[in-house]
Amino acid sequence: MIIVKIGGNILDNPERLQAFLLDFAQMPGPKVLVHGGGKIASALGQKLGITPKMVEGRRITDAETLDLVTMVYGGLVNKNVVAKLQALGCNAIGLTGADANIIPAQKRPVREIDYGFAGDVAGPESINADALEFMLEAGLTPVFAPLTHDTKGSMLNTNADTIASVLATALAHKYKVQLVYSFEKKGVLQDAADDASVIPYITAGKYKLLKETGVVNAGMVPKLDNAFAALQQGVAQVLICEGEALPSINTRQYSGTTLSLN
């Protein structure tokens, strides 16, 4: 089975989104889509006078921002993606981590920074994988917004990359899972200035070296750390590529980066 995460670079571009959803709808077998937020939330927040709260460069989810992301990610983005997939013959069902209690989380503890309503997922063992498998077996395609809940009545804002990797790991005991992170570049680049310098394979050993030599920069480190953690917990393969590469991922034409343990 396949879990695909898409972010703002696809969501914010109606033509790219439609082309991506067509490719995604046509993929055979059980599949899950996880989407991020994109610029729509910030644009709407601005109209509503909600200024993004940052503390030491980190984004804070205060109560009004939580409402904003619950509306935009859980409502506008999620339901429009579901409606578009339905029109393409893919029996999508839009979910957050609160729905069927699939992803219970904890409000991030306040230490140096109070992140507000940010949700951390304890790990794949806390996922209600049965509910998810049950939908997949019924031929449904879950579409996740980057939201969880605290099991005490509040929604929480959770990173979409994290949701994708924790779902992939939770399903790895039952399925051979491919986890695809769609990316703004064609893959992990050897030279950030050269879009053609995609590194085709990265093993755990090579990743260590790429970090040490600074080839993999700050922004990519959390994503790749996440990816290797998923591989260590049983996910079969992690792919980092452009959204457009989706139809090619199990062919020789695949042009992105494949991560594997060794």
List contacts with a second copy (CB under 8 A). 44, 47-49, 67, 70-76, 78-80, 82-84, 86-88, 91-96, 98-101, 131, 134, 138, 140, 147, 149-155
Round to the nearest angstrom and report the end-to-end CA distance of the chain. Answer: 21
Q: Which is nearer to a second copy, 151 or 197 (CB)?
A: 151
- Least gap, CB of 118 to a second copy (angstroms): 15
CB of 101 to a second copy, least distance (A): 5
Instruction: Give the nearer residue to a second copy in terms of CB position, either 76 or 192.
Output: 76
- Between 64 and 191, CB nearer to a second copy: 64
Of 112, 150, 132, 173, the C-alpha closest to 34 is: 132
CA-closest candidate to residue 197, choices 178, 212, 210, 179:
210
Alpha-carbon distances of 141 from 101, 162, 247, rounded to whole Å:
17, 19, 17
3-state secondary structure of 108: coil
Compute the least distance from the CB of residue 179 to a second copy, in Å.
Answer: 24
For β-strands 58-60 and 92-95, DSSP reports them as unpaired
User: Whose CA is closest to 4, among 123, 163, 223, 157?
Assistant: 163
Residue 200: HSE in the Cβ half-sphere, 13 Å Cα cutoff: 5
Residue 37 assigned as binding residue: yes
Instruction: Flag whether 59 is marked binding.
Output: yes
Report in angstroms how near the CB of residue 146 gets to a second copy at its nearest. Answer: 12
* 219 carries a ligand binding annotation: no
| Contact predicate 257/196, CB 8 Å | no
Beta-ladder partners of 181: 5, 240
Nearest distance from C-beta of residue 227 to a second copy, angstroms: 28
Least CB distance to a second copy at residue 66 (A): 10
d(CA 62, CA 59): 10
Q: Is 13 annotated as a binding residue?
A: no
Positions at the binding site for substrate: 37-38, 59, 157
Positions at the binding site: 37-38, 59, 157
